[in-house]
Chain A
Amino acid sequence: MNNVALKSSTGNKIANRAVISETLLELGRKDKNILVLTSDSRGSAALVPFGKELPDQIVEVGIAEQNIVGIAAGLAHSGKKPFVASPACFLSMRSIEQIKVDVAYSQTNVKLIGISGGVSYGALGMSHHSLQDIAVTRAIPGLHVMMPADRHESKKMIEALINYPYPVYVRIGRNPVEDSYLSEQYDFEIGKATTMKDGKDITLIATGETVRVALDAAKLLEDMGVHARVLNMHTIKPLDEDAIIKAASETGKIITLEEHSIFGGLGAAVAEVVSQHHPVPMKILGIPDEPAVTGKTAEVFQHYGISAENVSTIAMSILKRG
């Protein structure tokens, strides 16, 4: 098993978007075909330093999300490596048809980075939350979908995406997130879940910022004598079906965690595999079908029970049922 997970909080203050921008700058210096496109979003995407150092490699399109995706498709078709950095709520909704047709259907090598995703715009409400983006993007043939757990994984993911030949939608949050990984010293492979912690009693499958919650829940469970397995499903499509089937058969129970609607996201994707290959009891934890409550991410998570305490309580109740 991998021994990659960080046991507890380090109080990390570096946001995933900052790491992604630094990584793109580092790679962009060496490859002038790497371009970033922004929709008046270079500040939100932490791309100001990139724009200052590599002004010929940043393309500003203004507040026009349909246009940004179309232009990126045209650039990719002409041999460029475009990374679109635009708020997830607009990128995944306003321009979904361009994503479907110009990117996925035409198979242009565009990397779509949905920034400020999930509930990270907290108080701004449903217009700015993106809690349907995974459901929508993963239903599009040819488009791959990913969510990094922390800053270390953000860096590894961007490095892996530079020469990845498929279009990808990556969703990240706005604010610094607690580390889940000890460091960048681990093997990251697109499409392969990371076993953050092994266990035989139940499996917690999480993605993005909820990986840390799953790790903390597993720790609580360990204190109660329950050995939970924790899988970080950073790639939601193509999904690591083998890891899911293995978890179902070896642990017999699954809880999924995500910062997304309970419809169509990670939980639904896992349930599609489990129900057809190895049915076991499951709990899908996420945002219910309502305009999400507003507040800071931690407050919203707490409200909907996406917390270590609640996950361990649910786990115990599933285990009691046998």
Chain B
Amino acid sequence: MEELTFLKRKATEIRKELITMIYESGTGHTGGSLSNTDILTVLYYKIMNVDSKNPNWEDRDRYVQSKGHSVESYWAVLADKGFFPKEELQTFSKFNSRLIGHPNNKVPGVEMNTGALGHGLSIAVGMALAAKLDNKSYKVYTVMGDGEQAEGSVWEGAMAAAQYKLDNLIAIIDRNRLQITGGTEDVMGLEPLGDKWRSFGWEVVEVDGNDIEQLVTVLSDNPKVSGKPLLIVANTVKGKGISFSENQVGWHHRVPTKEEYELAIKELSEQLEVLV
């Protein structure tokens, strides 16, 4: 099978898995997990050098999920990659499960506990700086939310990454334009977002963050500029892949009813059928 088709199928399977987890556990961040699924799929199945049999391998690429609440797609990816048994996904958000509603480093493959917004970039800066100090070639990736950009600490991290010329650091903003209250521009305007990052000393690229091909291209030949960290504004659709959840603010953390769940699975299965 052609690689792009494989990745598109994988992303759709991850969406089926995550909506099932959310439906069965009765909780979850549906919209954000669906919007970042393609980013995670490209990172884990194409770009990043990680080994589920040796999750703490010294030279692995590092991933820090700064928008910790969109964890369902992350759990589904890690399980599928073999970091832990897939059956464990059924424990998601249940009593004393390690698969909680935020990344948890008791789970193999997860580097750091995240969930408090505005933390991930600084942590990634530390990891990228350590790579530079040790002359290691691994790269550090972090995915932030767009609503998260209102946290001042994001910009502290942005300044430090440029100051230390961390061209081994790639930050991605899941730019789905919605946060829990409403549109990002209504809650606290972010635009011109790319220019803000440029003015902080970053190389900035904008892509369609639900377009597997564009994500593969931009992530395959980064960083484009030596001595600069790379920011990817990944324009995404919140709730992507399930027609009735797309671009709907209410689906930030809504759980599907039985009918909605069945409809979602039907839609995603139809998408899979044509991906051959």
* A101 and B160 within 8 A (CB): no
B123 beta carbon closer than 8 Å to chain A = yes
Flag if B125 contacts A71 (CB, 8 Å).
Answer: yes
Determine how close the nearest CB of chain A comes to the CB of B4; give it in whole angstroms.
33
Interface flag for A183 (CB, 8 Å): no
Among the listed A59, A97, A101, which residue makes an inter-chain contact with B113, where contact means beta carbons less than 8 Å apart? Answer: A101
| Closest residue on chain B to residue A101 by CB atoms | B116
Q: How far is the CA of A146 from the CA of B5 in the complex (A)?
A: 56
Asked if B123 and A102 make an inter-chain contact with CB atoms under 8 angstroms apart, the answer reads yes
The answer to the question of B122 belonging to the interface, with a C-beta cut-off of 8 Å to chain A, is yes
A72 interface residue per 8 A CB criterion: yes
Q: A66-B118, A67-B153 are in contact. Are A74 and B124 (CB under 8 A)?
A: yes
Contact A102 to B160, CB < 8 A, known contacts A71-B129, A77-B126? no
B159 interfacial by beta-carbon distance below 8 Å: yes
Given contacts A61-B160, A62-B159, A66-B156, contact A77 B125 (CB under 8 A): no
Q: Is the CB of A74 within 8 A of B125?
A: yes
Q: What residues on A are CB-neighbors of B152 within 8 Å?
A: 66
Nearest-Cβ distance from residue A263 to partner chain B, whole angstroms: 25
B219 at the interface (CB under 8 A from A): no
With contact pairs A61-B160, A78-B131 given, residues A73 and B114 touching in the complex (Cβ less than 8 Å): no
Give the residue of A73, A79, A107 whose beta carbon is less than 8 angstroms from that of B123: A73
Q: Mark A71-91, 1 if CB is under 8 A from B, else 0.
A: 111111111101000000000
Contact of B129 with A75 in the complex, beta carbons under 8 Å: yes
Indicate the size class of the contact surface on chain B: 20 to 34
> Do A66 and B127 touch across chains, with their CB atoms under 8 A apart?
no
Chain B residues near A100 (CB, 8 Å)?
116
Q: In the complex, which residues of chain B have a beta carbon less than 8 angstroms from the beta carbon of A56?
A: 133
Cα A62 to Cα B125 in complex, Å, equals 14
> Are B122 and A70 interface neighbours, CB within 8 A?
yes
Among B115, B116, B157, the residue within 8 A (CB) of A67 is B157
Is B119 in contact with A101, judged by CB distance below 8 angstroms?
yes
Q: Are A77 and B122 in contact (CB under 8 A)?
A: no
> Which of chain A's residues has its CB closest to B152's CB?
A66
Is B111 at the interface (CB under 8 A from chain A)?
Answer: yes
Beta-carbon contacts under 8 Å, B231-258 to A: none
| A 36-63 to B, binary, CB cutoff 8 A, 1 in contact else 0 | 0000000000000000000010010110
Asked whether B130 is an interface residue with its Cβ less than 8 Å from the other chain, the reply is yes
Q: Is A21 an interface residue (CB 8 A)?
A: no
Q: Is the CB of A64 within 8 A of B160?
A: yes
Most buried by B among A67, A74, A106: A74
For B58, the chain A residues whose CB sits under 8 A away are 79
Report the Cα distance A100→B116, complex, angstroms.
10
B112 adjacent to chain A (CB < 8 Å): yes
Q: Tell whether, in the assembled complex, residue B157 and residue A77 are in contact, meaning their CB atoms are under 8 Å apart.
A: no
* Of A62, A76, A80, A98, the contact of B122 (CB 8 Å cutoff): A98
Q: A108–B122 Cα gap in the complex (Å)?
A: 14
Interface of A is mostly: helix
Of all chain A residues, which has the CB nearest B68? A101
Check B127–A77 contact: CB distance below 8 A.
Answer: yes
B 125-141 to A, binary, CB cutoff 8 A, 1 in contact else 0: 11111110110000000
Is there contact, CB below 8 Å, between A98 and B119? yes
Q: Is A64 a contact of B156 with CB atoms below 8 Å?
A: yes
Distance in angstroms from A66 CB to nearest chain B CB is: 4
**Given A71-B125, A74-B129, A101–B157 Cβ distance below 8 Å?**
no
Known: A56-B133, A80-B130, A101-B114. A67 touches B124 (CB 8 A): no
Cα A78 to Cα B163 in complex, Å, equals: 20
Nearest chain-A residue to B121 (Cβ)? A70
CA of A98 to CA of B123, assembled, Å: 10
How far does the alpha carbon of A108 sit from the alpha carbon of B58 in the complex, in Å?
A: 16
A106 to chain B, nearest CB (A): 4
Task: Determine if B126 and A75 form an interchain contact, defined as CB atoms under 8 angstroms apart.
Answer: yes
Q: Which partner residue on chain A sits nearest B157 by CB separation? A: A67
Also in contact, A73 and B156, with CB within 8 A (given A105-B113, A106-B113): no
Q: Are B130 and A102 in contact (CB under 8 A)?
A: no
Measured in the bound complex, the distance between the Cα atoms of B153 and A113 in whole Å is 21
Cβ of B126 and Cβ of A73 under 8 Å apart? yes
Query: Using Cβ atoms and an 8 Å threshold, which residues of chain B touch A35?
Result: 133
Is the beta-carbon distance between A71 and B116 smaller than 8 angstroms?
no
A285 to chain B, nearest CB (A): 36
**What are some 15 contacts across the A-B interface (CB < 8 A)?**
A61-B160, A62-B159, A64-B160, A67-B122, A73-B112, A73-B126, A74-B123, A74-B128, A77-B111, A77-B126, A78-B62, A97-B116, A101-B113, A102-B122, A106-B112
Given contacts A61-B156, A67-B153, 19 further A-B contacts (CB under 8 A): A56-B133, A62-B156, A62-B160, A66-B152, A67-B122, A67-B125, A67-B159, A70-B157, A71-B126, A72-B126, A73-B123, A74-B124, A75-B126, A78-B126, A78-B127, A79-B130, A80-B133, A102-B112, A102-B123
Q: 7 nearest interchain CB pairs?
A: A74-B126, A70-B122, A78-B130, A67-B156, A71-B126, A64-B156, A66-B153
B-binding residues in A (CB < 8 A) = 35, 56, 59, 61-62, 64, 66-67, 69-80, 82, 97-98, 100-102, 105-108
- B→A interface (CB under 8 Å): 58, 62, 64, 105, 111-116, 118-119, 121-131, 133-134, 152-153, 156-157, 159-160, 163
